[in-house]
Structure 1
Amino acid sequence: MAALTVGFVGLGSMGRGMAANLVRSGFSVQVWNRSPGPVKALVEQGARPAADLAGIFGNDIVVSMLADDRAVESNLHDPGLLEGARARLHINMATISLPLARRAAELHAEHKIGYLAAPVLGRAEVAEAGKLNILAAGPDELLEQAEPLFAAMGQRTWRLGSEPHQANAAKISANFLLACAIESLAEATSLAEASGVKPADLVELLTNTLFPGPAYTGYGSMISERRYEPAGFRLVLGMKDVNLALEAGGEQHVPLPFGGVLRDAFLDAVAHGDADRDWSAVAEVARRRAGLD
């Protein structure tokens, strides 16, 4: 039997590490990216370059890790591309809207291509280490086919339902909660600083008592040190995910009153030139409002 071949689309800060781990795990990986630099780097590690997306969809399984709805739809939802595809399964690991997730499943079904949603929890360094948490949803038989790939890219796969959009709903919810945590840290440290308490001291207190764990520890230290570069997750993408949560809440009639606060804070940050900094830079908005700059 011929070895399983994998086509990988999207070699940004997350995708590079994910594709590299597939190569290191022994998969025959072909890669494509809009810019050639990451392709060259993966080829040096043992991947094969693809001339175009049609070449990627000539593999057994396609894995994609693109930035947003627009990138997914413009690159991967061309009926001509899917019509000529040999791939039997597409694993979409991007964080996308629920309407697009449903359309993607329907479009792939029309072309008899299996489809899974599998967005991830973890930053670029976690992806490089193969320690991602993978939020997966879709038919059980497809999840079984994908499991060896998930094992190469992550430390645990969380199965969240039989419909792909359920994984996207879970990821949007998780990122919404992270944005809430970042904003609450920003406001709390601003209050402490305005009262003469060092933000680092407050963060150390909180993360060693009431709020242990990677979210408060990691983002707390970034906020207290005002250390937003290099960006592990760009602020403009965080704003995108807040908007996805508000859109999903409207669709499901679930009020998200804090979502409006987050949206305005992220808009303020983008307006002040922080779009490409880490999304924890939204803390600068709280500092400005508190007159700390």
Structure 2
Amino acid sequence: MTKAVALLGTGLMGAGMARSLLRAGLAVTVWNRSAEKARPLAADGATVAEDPGSAVSGADVVVTMLFDAESVGAVMAEAVGSLKPGAVWLQCATVGLDGVDALAALAAKHNVPFVDAPVLGSRQPAEDGKLIVLAGGDPSLRGSLDPVLDAIGTRTLWVGPRPGDGHRLKLAANSWVLALTAGTAQALALTRNLGLDPQLFLDLISGGGLDNGYAQLKGKAMIAGEFPAAFSLDGAVKDAGLIAAALRDAGADDRLMTAIHEQYRAAAAAGHGDSDMSAVFLAHGRENTQ
């Protein structure tokens, strides 16, 4: 039975996931490249490791929640030799399809059981243990992973037996989230720039068939000009690029996602990369063109 978990990457999502694991009674060791982001977790009961190898050395399950495929690959290449026999690698970061293949190959090279398990949700669901996990991998590993999956999420959907199956569904889900947020930003900016109060747009869709809780949440932040990060703009730029690449590789039309990617990229390039993804609204400018 899983008793000890190592979590590598304690940023916006990883820190909340670590606290959820601790609340479930698991022994948790954490590591982060920027150590100051990991140290506060000691007050919650986590052991803070100085390097990836020492973080994973006693773990039954290793969870990676770093920014991208390159960072996950570099850290696990350093840590993999310290894994104990039978330890399972649960890869939760969104790294794209090529990234999953590369990480699965690294795991296979070292005979490490590997499950691709990106998560759907943002900072608060991670803190509350209410993520949705989209898993792809050997179903025989489910029993050893259930304590971890039950701690970090309200639901785990086993998408398929191949590493990468979880990512295929995650990229589709994120394509919808990114399009919804960017579309809300465009509608509010157009309402404003045509000389109306942008709140009128949210009022218009409220309670009807066009309404959406996420659009209301992000739309209110856009109108207020307040963007505390639940999911960062830099993360949205990364994911939009991965989705556009997946569309091209699948032979699908990538023009819509490429345009959305450019909107997020423009807002991040203006200095808002650490802000919430709803800051894509700033790509439309601040001035009322009335």
Common fold, TM-score beyond 0.5? yes
Aligned to 1:39: 38
Contact 1:116 1:143 in 2 (8 A): no
Tell me the distance in 2 between the aligned counterparts of 1:250 and 1:63: 30
Tell me the distance in 2 between the aligned counterparts of 1:51 and 1:215: 38
Q: Give matches, 1:258-273, under 5 Å.
A: 258-273=256-271
Tell me the distance in 2 between the aligned counterparts of 1:161 and 1:88: 21
Contact 1:269 1:281 in 2 (8 A): yes
Contact 1:200 1:225 in 2 (8 A): no
Higher alpha-carbon deviation: 48-57 or 65-74: 48-57
1:281 to 270, 279, 282: 279
Aligned to 1:148: 147
Deviations 1:179-215 (A, max 9, x none): 1111211221122223333211211321321333332
Consecutive aligned runs of 4 or more in structure 1 exceeding 6 Å deviation: none
1:234 counterpart = 2:232 = yes
Aligned to 2:73: 73
Deviations 1:140-196 (A, max 9, x none): 111332122111111111111111211112222222211111121122112222333
Higher alpha-carbon deviation: 279-288 or 23-32: 279-288
User: Cα distance 1:77–1:169, how it changes in 2: closer, same or farther (>3 A)?
Assistant: farther
| Matched letter for residue 54 of structure 2 | G
Tell me the distance in 2 between the aligned counterparts of 1:14 and 1:271: 23
| Matched letter for residue 62 of structure 1 | V
Shift of 1:270: 2.5
Tell me the distance in 1 between the aligned counterparts of 2:100 and 2:243: 14
Contact 1:77 1:104 in 2 (8 A): no
Aligned to 2:175: 176
Residue-pair matches, total? 288
Aligned to 2:255: 257
Aligned to 1:30: 29
User: Cα distance 1:38–1:202, how it changes in 2: closer, same or farther (>3 A)?
Assistant: same
Identity among equivalent pairs (%): 30
Tell me the distance in 2 between the aligned counterparts of 1:234 and 1:263: 14
Tell me the distance in 2 between the aligned counterparts of 1:292 and 1:76: 50
| Matched letter for residue 116 of structure 1 | V
Contact 2:54 2:82 in 1 (8 A): no
| Matched letter for residue 230 of structure 2 | G
Tell me the distance in 2 between the aligned counterparts of 1:36 and 1:84: 20
Tell me the distance in 2 between the aligned counterparts of 1:6 and 1:27: 7
Tell me the distance in 2 between the aligned counterparts of 1:268 and 1:130: 32
Tell me the distance in 1 between the aligned counterparts of 2:238 and 2:184: 20
TM-score by length of 2: 0.92
Q: Give matches, 1:1-293, under 5 Å.
A: 4-58=3-57, 59-78=59-78, 81-86=79-84, 88-228=87-227, 230-287=228-285, 292=289
Shift of 1:227: 2.0
Unpaired stretches in structure 2, ≥5 consecutive residues? none
Deviations 1:206-239 (A, max 9, x none): 13213333321211211222222x1111111111
Contact 1:30 1:50 in 2 (8 A): yes
Q: Cα RMSD over matched residues?
A: 2.0
